[in-house]
Structure 1
Amino acid sequence: MVILQALLTLLTRSAGKLLNTAFGWATVMLFGRVSKDRQIYLSVIAFGSVLWIVALISLAAPGFGTFLLTFVTLPKWVDKRLIRLAMMAAVLVIPALVGLVSLRMLEPGARPRGAAAKVVTVLRGYPYTVGLAITLVLMTVFAPVLRVRNLARRWETQHVPMLVKPDDYLTVVEEVQAALRTGGIPTTRATVTWMLRLPTKFLSLFARYAMATVAADHLTRLVAPEVEILLHPSDLVISGRERAATRARAILAERLTVTRAYLTWDKESNEVEDRIREIWQAMRDGRMDEAAATLAAVQYRLRELDVPYDEWEVLFREALLAETALLRGRMPSAARAA
């Protein structure tokens, strides 16, 4: 009996680790990698949704709850009726907490103001929780399958931080496709696999308002023979053989500098990217002196900017590309002046 119990404990721990890994894959495949400030809230919402569905199933099927309790050592004074009441409370309270935390997923300017509006958002936590719970359960099943498929093809996955507003999603897809085509990788648009479409439909149905900044309604992938690109609102995922994926990433790093998407997550970094866009627009309009002045201001800002190094490096590269283009654009005039 002791050996059997030890074996069950070992199997349970292994299953728990596998389930945790699958859950992590599911979150990344569904939302991509999100910024650290939102990652905390997304994790809380995801965990709360899963906890809610476990509590709900335990109430609907007491046998399931009893099975779960076999893996937990409870004090003798704990009455099982109290556990059932706690599960009922969890089913009622967790969605409201999810709605409350979902406020933090919105941009500060988009958050509701006033008590009534905030109460409405909190109440929306109930459909949010249902939709996200169903979505994550499906993705926890599908994610290992998708992962194994990539492993079978000997493909690796690379992530490029990117922040895309929901209204600009399809425009950015076009810009990414154009950048790859210019770099020598022609792609065709394709819908994502049904194993991603189905969970996303549930998420859009129940939680579109809260998850608009991290999940697109119509996820689109760009397909080439050796590489695939999947764009999330907060992440660009490159899948392919190591050499092909690295080449695609290099092309995007070089050419995807003036788009509707941000290549950084920090608000201050986004503001610098806006200024760099102004440089490119000024060059297109022939306002070279204005472009040079804006570039000087950006370079000065970079020396004082307090952001993570990887974001600073992206901004430095974008500014350097703008400076190179500006110098090339001014060379004919300089030559004539000489």
Structure 2
Amino acid sequence: MRILFFGRGVISTQYAWAFEQAGHTVEFYVRKGRKETFGSRIELEMWDARKGKKLIQENWNVKLHEEMLPNYDLIFVSVNTEQLPKAVQFLSTAAGNTPILIFNNIWQDLKSSIAPLSMNNVVFGFPGAGGGIADNRLRGGFLKMVFLEKPRAGTEHINNKVKELFESAHFKISWIKDMQSWLWNHFAMNAAMETEVLKRGSFPAILNHSDSFVNVGKHMREMNPVLKARGAKSDMILLLLTKIPPALLGTLFNMVIYAKGSLPRLFVEYNNSKAGFAVSELVREAKKLGIPLPRLTVALENTEQHKAI
């Protein structure tokens, strides 16, 4: 399969490497000027957890394009959430009929989030990966599990193509029945994490404070009325973060999910992205609904996002 990755971000790069290892042709579309900036190689230091836990260390040759070329079997899109509107606008004229996998966090309703693309040409999914890129060096990793929406009427052929792609690279698929609610809940979870990041200064910093994940549970409870007002259905993410007492939740996160040496902890340690967008989107929505979010609002004060609301 010939796959075009939209952007050379941390998620795109890791899955592109895995797909190339499985025998697929992978290429990247990047903005004007980025081809020279990025160069033809990227240093990889990432954990591959598909079969055990293996550290990959290599300088990987990549093929970058600053034009959208034809004849791809799939376009893979995984960008920062705030970048998605511009990406889909560009793809609506440049992608033609090529099927698209949106592998992204999303707060809008799914149809609006990809307009003017057709829902019949798009499948939604979510990675089991993380990390960051700095000075052309990627540090991160990926798990065996990825998340894909169950086929909608009209998307069965794309779902099958995406399924075969991931399975050919030995990933395991978790099929999500209600992708809309799942993404809303996951976006809120990101906002809860980002609220702590805004307070502590960086993603790695939250790991050094034992009460960070206690607060994540409290932030999530504060946002629950917004999710309910939106019509989001409860899933394991929402139930975990809103039903378990915050103190117990903090212990669970610190001692199990983000235990020292675990891959999720490493993903956070390597995450050098800028926090705040998810928080601002939740606060903006809450204002429209007349729902107070004092914890998030305080954390957002004196940020660029707060000034824009």
TM-score w.r.t. the length of structure 2 is 0.28
Larger strand percent: 2
Q: Which has the larger radius of gyration?
A: 1
Larger helix percent: 1
TM-score w.r.t. the length of structure 1 is 0.27
